[in-house]
Amino acid sequence: MTAKAHHFGGEMNLMSPERIDALIATYRDGLLGDTLPFWINHAVDREFGGFLSCLDRDGTVIDTDKSVWIHGRFIWLLSTAYKTVEQRPEWLALARHGIDFLRRHAFDSDGRMFFHLTREGRPLRKRRYIFAETFAVAGLAAYASATGDAEARDQAISIFELITRYLTTPGLLPPKVNPETRSMKGLAIPMIMIVTAQILREVAPDLAFCPEVTGLCPKVTGLCPKVTGLCDQWIDRSISEIEHLFMKPEFEAVLETVGPSGEFLDHFDGRMLCPGHAIEAAWFILQEAQHRGGPGLPRPGQGDPRLVKLGTTILDWMWARGWDEEYGGILYYRDVKDLPVTEYWQDMKFWWPHNEAIIATLMAYQMTGDEKYAVWHRMVHDWAYAHFPDPEYGEWFGYLHRDGRISTRLKGNLWKGPFHLPRMQLKCWQVLEQIKAGRRG
Amino acid sequence: MTAKAHHFGGEMNLMSPERIDALIATYRDGLLGDTLPFWINHAVDREFGGFLSCLDRDGTVIDTDKSVWIHGRFIWLLSTAYKTVEQRPEWLALARHGIDFLRRHAFDSDGRMFFHLTREGRPLRKRRYIFAETFAVAGLAAYASATGDAEARDQAISIFELITRYLTTPGLLPPKVNPETRSMKGLAIPMIMIVTAQILREVAPDLAFCPEVTGLCPKVTGLCPKVTGLCDQWIDRSISEIEHLFMKPEFEAVLETVGPSGEFLDHFDGRMLCPGHAIEAAWFILQEAQHRGGPGLPRPGQGDPRLVKLGTTILDWMWARGWDEEYGGILYYRDVKDLPVTEYWQDMKFWWPHNEAIIATLMAYQMTGDEKYAVWHRMVHDWAYAHFPDPEYGEWFGYLHRDGRISTRLKGNLWKGPFHLPRMQLKCWQVLEQIKAGRRG
């Protein structure tokens, strides 16, 4: 903890009832009064279907190309808001609008998904990664969870199975770097598999899954242990990979890229840290700690202790690496040996690492009660809210220079869309309500 | 021209004999006393052969992986310095050292070249572009030109033929974006083909080329019109593509990416300008104007008028797009409609656009006598020399923030190596000597 952090901690009760209510208002009102309306007003393509995410500051569409990632993510958000906030028919209809476009245009003949489409839905690019597919699983599973829609549920399961087949069959996903020369594993895969499996696991487990669709279970009604088992297994496997291959106690850091058995690769790629990315993994693990901690509100002592320790260790290490002592905010890339990073934009401040750090610090506080995390939450929340929001047109800018100046007025592109910010607003609102409820009883 | 530029122009004779001598000293002494020694001292791998270009500020190797681009480029520099500056045996031996490594490790079984190798030379990545090959042609041709080495000459011709086959055979170079949906052409190809053909054209044309090696000409001795003709044809074709497909008078801009017949693509890619890149093409065209202007020292009136006009038009347009009126220096990317660019590092200042603009403005002054170009040369020279050089360890930093602050202390990586800076130093030194000689008579 820095001197500045101590100063914060000393000057006020960071998680007083008043502060919690003020934070709830910030997140809730931001989500419902700003972020969701911004995207609903500007991103819905009423003519060709689907969503347009390449937006100027005021929401004007500046590129009509469509991002398959963004579709899965917006469907997830709309469905999750419908299920957990309020059953607004508009949200459900828009989620359905996104699913229809995905089904019509986003799938290649091999069952995999494209990355980038024209406005009409014609394929521009398919990538070697399976992230379009993981976001589709999240969107379809959340929709199924919100509605009980069996077709969406079965499609989510079937895409998840396809992903696991691609991840476990050597040669199906050709790597960028010749694997005969240097075999590498990325943190992104286990990280995304944790949260995707967590979302899929929530899908209507009291219904039978048809074996013709999923191939997973015998024809039964009631709970489907094979689906929850598959999800648990991928979550276990992914957390174990992060713990045993990517976390390096000798550096107190989580690496982005390692050899197949966790070997440290002393090259630009192998030394590179992305603190925001690891911190995102940290809260997925804290979320799993809550799930496995048994019934009862998430609170200190409730979560699975091993996973709470794991998630907070990642947060502790990567906060130390990522927090910018000079200007504040989370630096994008660092080198684990403090050598120069080869990505030239390494010291920029992107919106999403701040969203992830705001969630992770709040959940770490929720699960441990350690005031340190309330201090960090305050630091990253305040820095982000002082620099990213657009006071004129709403939503957040995405890309700042290290010192917090805006680098581009862009509101969306093929990567930035209705996801990290509204997910943070929704998640933090929920966590704060849990903290309030926990204090009541 | 800006108010600031007028101010410069008014206050001094920008190209006085004293100023020219001072500039020659800056470029010559920088090349011979700083840039070449920096790379010769730090980049030569005496153990495994070839060159190491991933260097920290002080020249320490921070990644032992090797860049095939850098090899072709350093071989070109060493050979050209040997031929045009001084016949230092060390330079020739090092060029040979690079060629040996390339021949042993850089070629795939299909004749194409890898992009990225391990220190030992094992292949890590091969890319879909043909730039590794064009830089190898430049290196081998310059070596042949410096030494008369027939094997290097024939290999350069043979790789050039392979490049032309890949560029003209549909389907051989799979594009990033599905061509059935959106076919696109990039400025990089015609641009690099001009300079590569210019370098190849210089290769010992008074020797016979063996038809078994090149497949280009019947067995003759003396001049080989088929090689020079092939080069001229690719230069014509490439300049014509730039003029008719990429230059857009309605925008007064040179686009980076267009449709196959020069269609404007109103998307992020299609609107993106890279002023430094187009300005580099401008001086390749001015160089061709000199070549085609007939004998005599390059000077106002000597060059092919159409090509002088073309090159200076590109420079005029892209200077207006690229020069940063607020902080000085050349901005990396701009949007042709002044919409936000999707590359987040778009406003950074990289070393190489400044090297290219320093050359282009000086050559434009040489070919036109227009004082405006002397002013611009002074502006970009002064800005670059105020911000990029490392006073402590020599050479230049590569990556600055918009306001000129250093973003990373890195001296080299897989892209930054002994090329743009020393090429500028050599070329500008030569141009200034020509201007001096021209004034003498």
Among A118, A178, A408, the residue with its CB nearest the CB of B344 is A408
Q: Which residues of A touch B413 (CB under 8 A)?
A: 268, 342
pLDDT in tens, A37-70: 999 999 999 999 999 999 999 999 999 999 999 9
Q: B273 - beta bridge partners? A: B334
The predicted model gives A434-438 an average pLDDT of 95
CA distance B339 to B327: 20
CA distance B13 to B371: 9
CA distance A387 to A355: 13
Under the banding of pLDDT at 50, 70 and 90, the label for residue A205 is: low
pLDDT in tens, A227-246: 888 999 999 999 999 999 99
Contact partners, residue A43, CB within 8 Å, separation at least 6: A51, A52, A53, A55, A74, A412, A417, A418
Q: How many CB atoms lie within 10 A of CB B212?
A: 8
Query: Residue B413 is encoded by which pair of tokens?
Result: 């990586």
Ranges A60-74, A342-356, B1-15, B425-439: which has the least confidence: B1-15
| Buried b / exposed e along A355-365 (16+ C-beta atoms within 10 A) | bbbbbbbbbbb
Give residue for tokens 């890339």.
A333
Position A170 scores a pLDDT of: 87
Contact yes or no for A157/A209 (Cβ under 8 A): yes
The predicted model gives A290-315 an average pLDDT of 95
CA distance A128 to B265: 25
Position A216 scores a pLDDT of: 52
Q: Which residues of B touch A351 (CB under 8 A)?
A: none
Query: Residue A144 is encoded by which pair of tokens?
Result: 């199924």
Specify the 3-state DSSP secondary structure of B271: helix
Under the banding of pLDDT at 50, 70 and 90, the label for residue B12 is: low
CA distance A229 to A237: 12
Under the banding of pLDDT at 50, 70 and 90, the label for residue A128 is: confident
Closest by Cα among B203, B254, B244 to B227? B203
Position A173 scores a pLDDT of: 87
CA distance B157 to B153: 6
DSSP string, A364-389: HHHHH--HHHHHHHHHHHHHHHHHSB
| Buried b / exposed e along A113-131 (16+ C-beta atoms within 10 A) | bbbbbbbebebbbbbebbb
Among A64, A399, A414, the residue with its CB nearest the CB of B344 is A399
Helix or strand holding residue B55 (H, E): strand B54-55
Position B224 scores a pLDDT of: 67
Inter-chain CB proximity B409 and A57 less than 8 Å: no
Contact partners, residue B212, CB within 8 Å, separation at least 6: none
The predicted model gives A272-276 an average pLDDT of 98
Q: Which chain A residue lies closest to B407 (C-alpha atoms)? A: A344
* pLDDT of B138 strictly over 80: yes
Give which of B257, B388, B408, B409 to mutate to test A binding, by max A Cβ within 10 Å.
B408
Distance from the Cα of B270 to chain A's closest Cα (Å) equals: 10
* pLDDT of A277 strictly over 90: yes
Under the banding of pLDDT at 50, 70 and 90, the label for residue B3 is: very low
Chain B positions contacting chain A at CB under 8 Å are 54, 56-57, 62-65, 116, 118, 122-126, 176-178, 181-182, 266-268, 339-342, 344-348, 350, 398-399, 401-402, 407-410, 413-414
Q: Which residues of A touch B62 (CB under 8 A)?
A: 268, 339-340
* Percent of chain B at pLDDT exceeding 70: 92
Give which of A109, A127, A178 to mutate to test B binding, by max B Cβ within 10 Å.
A178
Closest by Cα among B422, B62, B284, B137 to A270? B62
Q: Apex CA A89: angle with CA A85 and CA A90, to 5°?
A: 95
Distance from the Cα of B64 to chain A's closest Cα (Å) equals: 7
* pLDDT of B204 strictly over 60: no
Residue A365 Rama label (left phi>0; alpha psi -120 to 50; beta): alpha
Contact partners, residue B369, CB within 8 Å, separation at least 6: B299, B300
Q: Which residues of B touch A182 (CB under 8 A)?
A: 118, 124
Position B128 scores a pLDDT of: 85
Ranges A149-163, A292-306, B203-217: which has the least confidence: B203-217
pLDDT in tens, B81-93: 999 999 999 999 9
How many interface pairs between A and B have CB atoms less than 8 angstroms apart?
A: 108
Give which of A54, A63, A64 to mutate to test B binding, by max B Cβ within 10 Å.
A63
Sign of the dihedral through C-alpha B85, B86, B90, B92? positive
Query: Residue B417 is encoded by which pair of tokens?
Result: 């190596």
Question: CA torsion B243→B249→B255→B258, rounded to 10°?
Answer: -70
Among B176, B268, B342, the residue with its CB nearest the CB of A125 is B176
Among A122, A339, A407, the residue with its CB nearest the CB of B347 is A407
The whole-angstrom distance between residue B394's C-alpha and the CA centroid of its chain comes to 22
The residue with greater pLDDT, B432 or B301, is B432
CA distance A175 to A195: 23
Helix boundaries (H) for B34-187 = 36-42, 68-84, 89-105, 131-147, 150-168
Residue B287 Rama label (left phi>0; alpha psi -120 to 50; beta): alpha
Under the banding of pLDDT at 50, 70 and 90, the label for residue A323 is: very high
The predicted model gives A370-380 an average pLDDT of 97
CA distance A56 to B275: 23
Contact partners, residue A58, CB within 8 Å, separation at least 6: A392, A393
CA distance A113 to A131: 9
Under the banding of pLDDT at 50, 70 and 90, the label for residue A226 is: confident
* Percent of chain B at pLDDT exceeding 90: 86
pLDDT in tens, A423-435: 999 999 999 999 9
Chain A positions contacting chain B at CB under 8 Å are 54, 56-57, 62-65, 116, 118, 122-126, 176-178, 181-182, 266-268, 339-342, 344-348, 350, 398-399, 401-402, 407-410, 413-414
pLDDT in tens, A69-107: 999 999 999 999 999 999 999 999 999 999 999 999 999
Position A369 scores a pLDDT of: 95
Inter-chain CB proximity A347 and B399 less than 8 Å: no
Contact yes or no for B214/B227 (Cβ under 8 A): yes
pLDDT in tens, B305-317: 999 999 999 999 9
Position A244 scores a pLDDT of: 98
Q: Which residues of B touch A63 (CB under 8 A)?
A: 266-268, 342
Distance from the Cα of B281 to chain A's closest Cα (Å) equals: 24
Position B2 scores a pLDDT of: 43
Pairing state of beta strands A349-350 and A399-400?
A: antiparallel
Contacts within 8 Å (CB) and 24+ apart, B202-209? B202/B141, B202/B145, B203/B141, B203/B144, B203/B145, B203/B153, B203/B156, B203/B157, B203/B227, B204/B144, B204/B145, B204/B148, B204/B150, B204/B153, B207/B148, B207/B150, B207/B153, B209/B153, B209/B154, B209/B157
CA distance B72 to A214: 53
pLDDT in tens, B337-353: 999 999 889 999 999 99
Query: Residue A134 is encoded by which pair of tokens?
Result: 């993981």
Position A14 scores a pLDDT of: 87
Inter-chain CB proximity A177 and B125 less than 8 Å: yes
CA distance A428 to A440: 18
Under the banding of pLDDT at 50, 70 and 90, the label for residue A167 is: very high
* pLDDT of B169 strictly over 80: yes
**C-alpha pair distances (Å), A204 with each of A107, A148, B98, B405:** 25, 6, 63, 55
Contact yes or no for B433/B24 (Cβ under 8 A): yes
Position A2 scores a pLDDT of: 42
Among B56, B126, B344, the residue with its CB nearest the CB of A348 is B344
Predicted TM-score (pTM) above 0.80 = yes
* pLDDT of B7 strictly over 50: no
Pairing state of beta strands A399-400 and A66-67?
A: unpaired
Inter-chain CB proximity A181 and B124 less than 8 Å: yes
Position A206 scores a pLDDT of: 54
Closest by Cα among B400, B388, B358 to B34? B388
Position A265 scores a pLDDT of: 98
* pLDDT of B34 strictly over 90: yes
Closest by Cα among B241, B223, B110, A292 to B255? B241
Contact partners, residue A440, CB within 8 Å, separation at least 6: none
Closest by Cα among B383, B198, B386 to B280? B198
The predicted model gives A367-387 an average pLDDT of 97
Q: How many CB atoms lie within 10 A of CB B190?
A: 23
Which ipTM was obtained for this model? 0.92
* pLDDT of B75 strictly over 70: yes
**How confident is the prediction for chain A on average, in pLDDT?**
92
Contact partners, residue A242, CB within 8 Å, separation at least 6: A187, A190, A191, A254, A281, A285, A314
Contact yes or no for B32/B85 (Cβ under 8 A): yes
CA distance A389 to A396: 4
